[in-house]
Amino acid sequence: MPISPIGGVNYANQNAPVHSAQVSNELAKDSFATLVNMSEFQAKEKAVEKLEKVNQTHEVSDEVKERQEEEKKHSKHHQEQEEKDEQEEKDEQEVVKKSSHLLDLSI
C-alpha cells in the first residue's frame, strides 16, 4: 500500500516509527513541564502549610483562652452558689435552734 505518488517510495509501516518518535518527544516535553509545575506547586504548598500552622496555633490558643475564661467564670459561679447554699443551710439551722417549739400543740 504505497502512500507517495511517485510509485511506492514510502509505505505506511515505514512512517510509523517517525510518528511514534514525534509522539514520544511531545510526551517527554509534557511530562517535563508537569514535573516542573509540580515541584513549583509543592514548594508553594509547603509555604502555605507553614502559614496555616501559624494561624492554627493562634486559633487554638485563642480557643484555649476562651475555654479557660469560661471555666473560671463557671467555677466562680459554682463557688458563689455553694456559698449561698451553705449560708442558707446555716440560716435554717439557726432558725431551728432559736425556736424552742417545733410543733405548737397548745389550743
- Residue 63 contacts by C-beta under 8 Å, 6 or more apart in sequence? none
What CA–CA distance (Å, rounded) separates 73 from 81? 12
Q: Is the pLDDT of residue 1 over 60?
A: no
Q: What are phi and psi of 92, to 5 degrees?
A: -65, -40
pLDDT level of residue 61 (50, 70, 90 thresholds): confident
**Which comes out higher in pLDDT, residue 18 or 107?**
107
Residue that has been written with the C-alpha cell 510526551 in this structure: 27
Q: What is the mean pLDDT of the chain?
A: 76
pLDDT > 90: percent of the chain: 7
To the question of pTM greater than 0.75 for the whole model, the response is no
User: In this predicted model, which residue has the larger pLDDT, 4 or 102?
Assistant: 102
